Structure 1
Amino acid sequence: MIRLYALCDQDLLDSRGLSLESFIEIAKNHNAEIIQYRNKTADISFIKAQLIKIRKMYSGFLIINDSYELIEFCDGVHLGQEDLKNIDSEVHRAVSIVRSVIGKDKILGISTHNEDEVLQANDLDLNYIGLGAYKNTSTKDVPNILGDSLDQIASKSKHFVGAIGGVNINDTFVNVTYHVIGSGLLEK
């Protein structure tokens, strides 16, 4: 059975003319266990309002991308490698800072893109990693495509692994816990 982590990207919704409510319904219809809300352009009050809306419609795990100051409105936070470096140039310190803000009872995940980052993540206080990109995707410029090596690299992680980047429901992995799907959920 595929375990689904749905990535709800506000820019993608806006570009396709989809409402937040529509995306949440699609995610629920596909039995998404986790929804991550990502919005790289809005102000913090808009993001907060969207998290509150999602929480009213969805009872699964809710993760915020980047905006860890909004942790009280969700179950966890996800950060990319560049976002970590913006917090502190040393990844271990950056994760420690975020963990001190969100607490031990909240979920913390980061993006990884290669075996070195996965091995580094093994020493971090995390709940999961996103690993990829698996395939090229139209929603993000991806310089590193892992393809068939993703599953082998995932086997090196001591954390749960979500396959990211161009993943769809029909992809199969042995060492991956979650399929992280955003735009693929919206395909007919």
Structure 2
Amino acid sequence: MNLELYVITDEGIAKGRTHAEIARLACDGGADAIQLRDKYCSSENLCSIGREIRAITRRTGTVFIVNDRLDIALACGADGVHLGQDDLKVDLARQKAPRPFIIGVSVGNSGEAVAAERGGADYVAVSPVFATVSKIDAGPGRGLAMIKQIKSVVSIPVIAIGGINCDNVEEVIASGADGVAVISVVVGQPDITAASRDLKKRITAAKQSRTRLKAINPD
């Protein structure tokens, strides 16, 4: 399960492009995962959109996640669902969707991360790392120290989300994040494919640098 570049769809900032178009363009740029996120779409329409994105991501081998809605994720054949702290509890979701179905959980501290892993989560997303305008209820940034803290107490991948851009992605990866989830730095750009490709290159380079530094200073 590769979640290095995890792109979340948002039609509100996508310059007229649909969720499916966002997904296609991001996949073309090397996105490893696409999350369908729409708080206002009807269930019927969301499922239809999900099936479009499923077809796109199946062709590219990209992980496809649906935000919040386990029912929609299962109905459209997605690879997984992403849950917030106020959504369906991860242990109940796991009962309804056994592995290899992927379950991710948003967390804000190490206690929530440990609970998510124990409940059956496959990854956790530290949210938000930095202050962000893409999600108005995200709250204040947790900072890079929180990534390090959570990495020290869980064995599942830790994804960073919130305010991540080309200027800070290297330090986010250096702090231990296994990947980054982004919206505006990709979806809000004129060329989604180019933005995805550029960010993916930066993530890859940062991971290579982190590996070299770890080899030199294993402690």
Please report the TM-score for the alignment, with normalisation by the length of structure 1: 0.84
- For 1:60-97, what per-residue CA distance to the aligned partner results, in whole angstroms no more than 9, with x for missing partners? 1111111101214201000100113xxxxxxxxx2222
Match of 1:137 among 132, 144, 147: 132
Alignment-derived partner of residue 9 in structure 2: 8
Which amino acid letter does the alignment assign opposite residue 111 of structure 1? Answer: S
Whether the 8 Å contact between 1:10 and 1:37 is mirrored in structure 2 is no
Alignment-derived partner of residue 42 in structure 1: 41
Q: Pick closer, same or farther for the CA change 1:153–1:139 going to 2, 3 Å.
A: same
Alignment-derived partner of residue 81 in structure 1: 85
Give every structure 1 segment of 4 or more consecutive aligned residues whose post-TM-superposition deviation is greater than 6 Å. Answer: none
Alignment-derived partner of residue 111 in structure 2: 116
Percent of aligned pairs with the same amino acid = 24
1:119 shift after superposition: 2.7
Alignment-derived partner of residue 187 in structure 1: 189
Q: Report matched runs for 1:150-161 at 5 Å.
A: 150-156=146-152, 157-161=154-158
Match of 1:62 among 48, 61, 64: 64
1:50 shift after superposition: 0.5
Distance in 2 separating the partners of 1:35 and 1:95 = 20
Q: Pick closer, same or farther for the CA change 1:120–1:100 going to 2, 3 Å.
A: closer
1:176 shift after superposition: 1.2
Whether the 8 Å contact between 1:122 and 1:159 is mirrored in structure 2 is yes
Check if 1:96 corresponds to 2:95: no
- Counting helix residues as a fraction of each chain, which structure ranks higher? 2
Distance in 2 separating the partners of 1:75 and 1:147 = 29
- Counting strand residues as a fraction of each chain, which structure ranks higher? 1
Alignment-derived partner of residue 91 in structure 1: none
- For 1:101-156, what per-residue CA distance to the aligned partner results, in whole angstroms no more than 9, with x for missing partners? 12222000110012221232232211101112111111112323112213312322
Whether the 8 Å contact between 1:131 and 1:164 is mirrored in structure 2 is yes
Distance in 1 separating the partners of 2:156 and 2:144 = 20
Structure with higher Rg: it is 2
Distance in 2 separating the partners of 1:12 and 1:107 = 27
1:169 shift after superposition: 4.3
- Number of residue pairs matched? 176
Which amino acid letter does the alignment assign opposite residue 133 of structure 2? Answer: S
CA RMSD of aligned residues (A): 2.0
Q: Pick closer, same or farther for the CA change 1:99–1:8 going to 2, 3 Å.
A: same
Match of 1:106 among 64, 89, 101: 101
Alignment-derived partner of residue 194 in structure 2: none
Structure 1: where are the runs of 5+ without partners? 85-93
Distance in 2 separating the partners of 1:21 and 1:155 = 33
Q: Pick closer, same or farther for the CA change 1:72–1:166 going to 2, 3 Å.
A: same
